[in-house]
Structure 1
């Protein structure tokens, strides 16, 4: 992950997009360019959105995440692996694409696992954002509403990927890194990401 990437608040709109990225990954694997993929998604209403307005933006976000994976095998797995595996790979894709998610998963979740501290609360989330705001002017300029929304998206991602059981849950589950993602992380030389998946060498 390039630490010079600016933080961005796109997570407020883009969220986890698991259903969408599965569809996009199939087109990506087949070599379809983004504009063609968007046309097919719109034509067949594959995202099942009430309007087409969001389709282009979110399909592009999916393609950017797939690009960010930097690993054809992981893209293939994201397109066709069982849900549990594909969700873990999608989380890694979001991490690679979004610096904020990368740092949250490693600095907060990874550290929890490293210290075998399974308690996770609003306090942890608030401390993370306070630290970010103190060190980065762009994050400091975000509205309270934006930060609240991003916090909500992060928690929902943790639920979607099995780290938490529900919105009110305050105990992290001991997740297990799937072999497919382990190989992909190693191929990408992204060893720093391993603690986020409760994996330590």
Structure 2
């Protein structure tokens, strides 16, 4: 569960990576182990990156996301509509990144529940300042790291369809298919549904 994870800034080098997640899930389906997947992705440049360093930085995050998806969720990412894949990827990011989950749960969920569809800079600032006050490790992060995370969070929301406009900060609700809602509730992950405004 997300609560056991420490706060981390790994998202600065990971971002949305839906295409990459699909590549890893295809290899998983072929029966490759996580170690074999990592090796093959890097050797064959399965993500089609220009630089190997970018590849090496993103592979562990993508594999972590793939691990938290059960067979049904993996299948939906691989064969479902793009919007479904985006939402399941967002769920996987929340499952593997405690800080991002808390941002979704404490900022985005609250806004959507209140019918407030405006995400402002101050919302991000207050969130990060509050978390840094609560966590010694995070308090030591540089301003550059925090700023990069803020950019990444906005990008994640945008790519997942929760943020309509990066400049204005206008939020929008995502329409989740009943199958996904039922499945996440069944496996005990309804907290993640609430975090995206369901």
Question: Scaled by the length of structure 1, what TM-score is found?
Answer: 0.91
Q: Distance in 2 between matches of 1:170 and 1:189?
A: 31
Question: Scaled by the length of structure 2, what TM-score is found?
Answer: 0.92
**Structure 1 residues 131, 154: closer, same or farther in 2, change over 3 A?**
same
SS at match of 1:165: strand
Q: Indicate if the aligned counterparts of 1:28 and 1:63 stay in contact, CA closer than 8 A.
A: no
- Does residue 141 (structure 1) correspond to residue 140 (structure 2)? The answer is yes
Which range moves more in the overlay, 21-30 or 37-46? Answer: 37-46
Aligned residue runs from structure 1 range 122-141, under 5 A: 122-141=121-140
Q: Distance in 1 between matches of 2:51 and 2:173?
A: 39
Aligned residue runs from structure 1 range 34-183, under 5 A: 34-69=34-69, 71-183=70-182
1:57-96 deviation line (CA, Å, top 9, x unaligned): 4222211112123x22112212222211101000000000
Q: Indicate if the aligned counterparts of 1:111 and 1:195 stay in contact, CA closer than 8 A.
A: no
Unmatched 5+ stretches in structure 2: none
CA deviation after TM superposition for structure 1 residue 140, in Å:
0.8
Q: Indicate if the aligned counterparts of 2:2 and 2:94 stay in contact, CA closer than 8 A.
A: no
Q: Indicate if the aligned counterparts of 2:41 and 2:47 stay in contact, CA closer than 8 A.
A: yes
CA deviation after TM superposition for structure 1 residue 43, in Å:
4.5
**Structure 1 residues 179, 25: closer, same or farther in 2, change over 3 A?**
farther
CA deviation after TM superposition for structure 1 residue 105, in Å:
0.8
Residue 8 of structure 1 corresponds to 8
Q: Indicate if the aligned counterparts of 1:177 and 1:197 stay in contact, CA closer than 8 A.
A: no
Q: Distance in 2 between matches of 1:14 and 1:180?
A: 28
1:30-67 deviation line (CA, Å, top 9, x unaligned): 32112322343345432111132333442222111121
SS at match of 2:164: coil
CA deviation after TM superposition for structure 1 residue 180, in Å:
4.0
Q: Over aligned residue pairs, what C-alpha RMSD do you find?
A: 1.7
CA deviation after TM superposition for structure 1 residue 197, in Å:
2.3
Q: Indicate if the aligned counterparts of 2:2 and 2:97 stay in contact, CA closer than 8 A.
A: no
> After TM superposition, where is structure 1 displaced by more than 6 Å over at least 4 residues in a row?
none
The count of corresponding residues between Structure 1 and Structure 2 is 198
Q: Distance in 2 between matches of 1:184 and 1:141?
A: 39
Q: Distance in 2 between matches of 1:2 and 1:158?
A: 19
